[in-house]
Amino acid sequence: MKAKIGILGSGVVAQVLGSGFLNHGYEVMMGTRDVSKLAGWQKTEGGKAGSFAEAASFGDIIVLAVKGTMGSSALGLAGAANLAGKTVIDTTNPIADLPPVNGVLQYFSRLDGSQMEQLQAEFPEGRFVKAFNSVGNAFMINPDFDGIKPSMFICGNDADAKQQVTAILDDFGWETEDMGAAEAARAIEPLCMLWCIPGFLRNEWMHAFKLLKK
Ligand SMILES: NC(=O)c1ccc[n+]([C@@H]2O[C@H](COP(=O)([O-])OP(=O)(O)OC[C@H]3O[C@@H](n4cnc5c(N)ncnc54)[C@H](OP(=O)(O)O)[C@@H]3O)[C@@H](O)[C@H]2O)c1
């Protein structure tokens, strides 16, 4: 039987991943501070919704899909005890509340640290894995690039957690590229900046990364 998924968030990423997990046979509960934000999604998808804590308690695997600046506060509301021993898929990007500069997003993190390392240190109960942050939500599930599977870069300190996330990415049609321990998030998080540049400069949003190998 597939794992139960608790998704923290009510925005477009949470909803797209929620629908994707449901369509791939997982049980899903979405978490939010305001369940009314998910009424439309629940109506079309038939999934469950509750508080951050209820979703985190429901999930065998947790997906963090909130505004980057709110990662810590959302996990705090979810409750550290509800993360204990669980894989936490971190989709967030540390985007500051500032406008892009010539198409380049501004981050509140630095290159010698990352949002995910900070969250992992603050919530050692969870087994964090960075994933889904380097592509637009339109391509997160079953990305179609004329038969070419794009690359999803992941990292985290726990091998079993990364194995679980790789199995999910296999289900969702991705080629997983494991970049190692949590520190690799220092490189994976800024991929979102790169991904967004063609969008902000030329309104081009229909792309994904591929690691070519010999
Ligand atoms: N949009 C994309 O295509 C894309 C692609 C890759 C990665 N990402 C990353 O995915 C994450 C989610 O993005 P999004 O566009 O779906 O949504 P978003 O607008 O960045 O975030 C919405 C979520 O943030 C939560 N939030 C806001 N203020 C909060 C607070 N004070 N305390 C706790 N939670 C709070 C909201 O919780 P409530 O439900 O309680 O209101 C809501 O669930 C972001 O970190 C983003 O960088 C986005």
Query: pLDDT digits over 27-81, tens only?
Result: 999 999 999 999 999 999 988 999 999 999 999 999 999 999 999 999 999 999 9
Residue with tokens 């998808």: 45
The binding-site residues of ligand 1, defined as CB within 6 angstroms of any ligand atom, are 9-14, 32-34, 37, 65-68, 70, 73-74, 91-93, 95, 132-133, 136-137
For residues 57 and 71, give the distance between their C-alpha atoms in angstroms, rounded to a whole number: 17
What residues in the chain have per-residue pLDDT under 70?
none
> CA of 61: how far to CAs of 52, 133, 158, 165, in Å?
13, 17, 14, 9
Strands 151-154 and 61-64: unpaired
Single-letter residue type at 53: A
Residue with tokens 């992992």: 120
Q: What are phi and psi of 17, to 5 degrees?
A: -70, -40
pTM for the full model? Answer: 0.98
Cβ atoms within 10 A of the Cβ of 128, count?
A: 29
Residue 78 in any domain: the answer is yes
Residue 85 in any domain: the answer is yes
Q: For residue 67, how far is its CA from the centre of ligand 1 (angstroms)?
A: 3
Residue 89 in any domain: the answer is yes
Amino acid 137: pLDDT = 98
Amino acid 1: pLDDT = 79
For residues 89 and 55, give the distance between their C-alpha atoms in angstroms, rounded to a whole number: 14
Residue with tokens 């794992």: 3
Residue 208 in any domain: the answer is no
Q: Which domain holds residue 154?
A: 4-202
Q: Where are the alpha helices (DSSP H) in 34-158?
A: 39-45, 52-58, 71-78, 115-122
Cβ atoms within 10 A of the Cβ of 89, count?
A: 29
Q: For residue 197, how far is its CA from the centre of ligand 1 (angstroms)?
A: 20
Residue 51 in any domain: the answer is yes
Residue 212 in any domain: the answer is no
Residue nearest to atom 5 of ligand 1 (CA): 136
The enclosing domain of 193 has a CATH number of 3.40.50.720
Amino acid 50: pLDDT = 98
What is the number of structural domains in the chain? 1
Residue 109 in any domain: the answer is yes
Q: For residue 199, how far is its CA from the centre of ligand 1 (angstroms)?
A: 19
CB contact at 8 A, 134 and 195? yes
Single-letter residue type at 125: E
Residue with tokens 């690039």: 145
Q: For residue 121, how far is its CA from the centre of ligand 1 (angstroms)?
A: 21
Residue 213 in any domain: the answer is no
